[in-house]
Amino acid sequence: DIQMTQSPSSVSASVGDRVTITCRASQAINNWLAWYQQKPGRAPRLLIYAASDLQSGVPSRFSGSGSGTEFTLTITSLQPEDFATYYCQQASSLFLLTFGGGTKVEMK
Amino acid sequence: EVQLVQSGPEVKKPGESLKISCQGSGYSFSSYWVAWVRQMPGKGLEWMGIIYPGDSDTRYSPSFQGQVTISADKSSRTAYLQWSSLKTSDTAIYYCATTTMTRFFFESWGQGTLVTVSS
């Protein structure tokens, strides 16, 4: 199985801050990576797919980059509605999908 | 608009059976894979398996193979997740999700079904 390791597991930030979350794959996954946002009591929401493509309706302050084994999700100018938990997910192994452990973005 | 509507919360005892559902609308249900994802209390997301409703081709995560059964009825546009004998460790929220993309990046999710297993 491909293991996905996210860091940090949590980050404290203020409105307006730039936040960067990293996801590392245990083996190369090309650009087959997605990022999701999840708020308490809600289903996950797709933010970024294919490592850097912004899902329709997602604000442009969210961006993704990376290829191979290392990926980042960046939130420029954090907004109040962005406090949530973020997950990466690899889609390289077609029928052996795996998620990262999650990164909680908390208010400082 | 793609919508996935899941069945309501369940409270069960260990050893009981259960089948939860996920009904799709607003798209060609038979033509796109439907996945199931588990989220245990306070924990992260775990991919359980996936089904293609058109021909019921089903694939499981090794962690869930033999523990659950995934099925689908294309006539009612519904996917199912079932257990034959629940354990307390099955207590979790279960989400269904689908995508129209060529890779499994899930842009549409159900609202989740909370399953509580307690004696």
Contact in structure between B30 and B54 (CB atoms under 8 Å): yes
Q: What is the pLDDT of residue B115?
A: 98
Give A85→chain B minimum CA distance, Å.
Answer: 9
pLDDT in tens, B70-95: 999 999 999 999 999 999 999 999 99
Would you state the pLDDT for residue B75? 96
pLDDT score of B96:
98
Res A93: pLDDT: 87
According to DSSP, the β-strands at A103-107 and A10-13 are: parallel
Residue B8 sits at φ, ψ, to 5 deg, of -80, 175
Q: What is the pLDDT of residues A66-81, one digit of tens each?
A: 999 999 999 999 999 9
Cβ-contact A73, A62 below 8 angstroms: yes
- Per CB-CB distance under 8 Å, the chain B contacts of A101 are 44
Report pLDDT for A68.
97
> What sign does the dihedral B77-A53-A2-A100 (CA atoms) show?
negative
DSSP β-bridge partners for residue A65: A72
User: To probe the interface with B, which of A95, A99, A104 has the most B CB atoms within 10 Å?
Assistant: A95
| pLDDT at A41 (0 to 100) | 96
Three-state DSSP class for residue B18? strand
Q: How sure is the predictor about A94, in pLDDT bands with cuts at 50, 70 and 90?
A: confident
Top residue of A56, A97, A99, A104 to mutate, by most chain B CBs within 10 Å, is A97
> Burial letters for A56-91: b for 16+ Cβ neighbours within 10 Å, e otherwise?
eebeeebbbebeeeebbbebeebeeebebbbbbbbb
Give the model's confidence band at A54: pLDDT under 50 very low, under 70 low, under 90 confident, else very high: very high
Question: What is the residue whose two structure tokens read 């409105």?
Answer: A15
Low-confidence ranges of chain B (pLDDT < 50): none
